[in-house]
Amino acid sequence: MVHITGYAGRHTIRYVNHILDLFALNFRICRLLFIRQRYGRTLVRRVALEQVYFTCVQALPIIIPIALIIGSMMLIQFSKVSGQYDLGKTTVLLIVRELGPVVTALLVILRSATAVTIEISYMNVLNEVDALEMAGMDPLRIIGLPRMIGIVSALLCLFVIFDLIAIIGGYAVAWMITYISMGDFLAQIAKAITLTDITVGIVKALFFGITITVTCIYHGLSIPQNMMTRIPMKTSRAAVDCFFYCLLINVAISVAFYI
């Protein structure tokens, strides 16, 4: 019994320290947003734009079909019981509040989180991070800040695109392939959606982007040098942690706004 209690206590302490390290890393990166440096501004902008292009633009061929499938299937199923449920409110509740942020976050985790973790891991193992420090530059400003800006911006854009495609595109697909009457669906959506719904989605996307970036950077920088074989393990751990943290944040924000 004492052995189990001690193991649980040590594990809890390690986990709390890990969370505190993530918060500290997040604070250091966010603080750089308010510090104007003379060096590296062009590089930061370029890396941030490349991150947006990779995370958002190149993900459009994936996010658009997913949004069409999810939106059309949901509309077709719920339109069959439209007499029992308000179709507009149900769509806003499921797509705008919940599925939109979660699906976009999952896509970013699968594509960008793993890529960022691998990239930073190799930079750390191959001593590129040390080279930046020896050159007098802050590695977090060159590596972390542009990736946080890029991933957060891309998540916000993907969230908006997913919602629009899922609602409007899903309605168009359901109208073309079925004979189900959905009435004035778009008018119901316009009436059902509120500023709170939009705010919740934006807040979730913002927190998801920050959490994914900080978690990936932390795991990438935590690999010891000359330990290249640990990169796959750290990448897998980073993806799982990102998904778990995003689920917790999703529940916390939903509870804070709607209960």
What is the DSSP secondary structure assignment for residue 138, as one 8-state letter?
Answer: -
Q: What is the mean pLDDT of residues 36-62?
A: 84
Residue 92 has pLDDT above 80, yes or no: no
* Residue 18 counted as domain residue: no
Predicted local distance difference test score (pLDDT) of residue 245:
93
Q: State which residues form the domain around 196.
A: 38-258
In a domain, 67, yes or no: yes
82 found inside a domain: yes
Tell me if 147 sits within 8 A of 30, measured CB to CB: no
- Is the per-residue pLDDT at 109 higher than 60? yes
209 neighbors 151 (Cβ within 8 angstroms): yes
pLDDT score at 249? 92
Q: How many CB atoms lie within 10 A of CB 66?
A: 17
Residue 27 located in a structural domain: no
Residue 16 located in a structural domain: no
Q: What is the pLDDT, as a whole number, of residue 240?
A: 92
- The phi, psi pair for 222, rounded to 5°, reads -85, -5
Please indicate, yes or no, if residue 134 is contained in any of the structural domains: yes
Number of domains observed in the structure of the chain:
1
Which is more confident, 126 or 182? 126
Q: Report yes or no on 65 lying in a domain.
A: yes
Q: What would the pLDDT profile of 222-258 be if each residue is shown by its tens digit?
A: 887 777 788 888 889 999 999 999 999 988 988 887 7
Domain membership flag for residue 11: no
Residue 186 has pLDDT above 80, yes or no: no
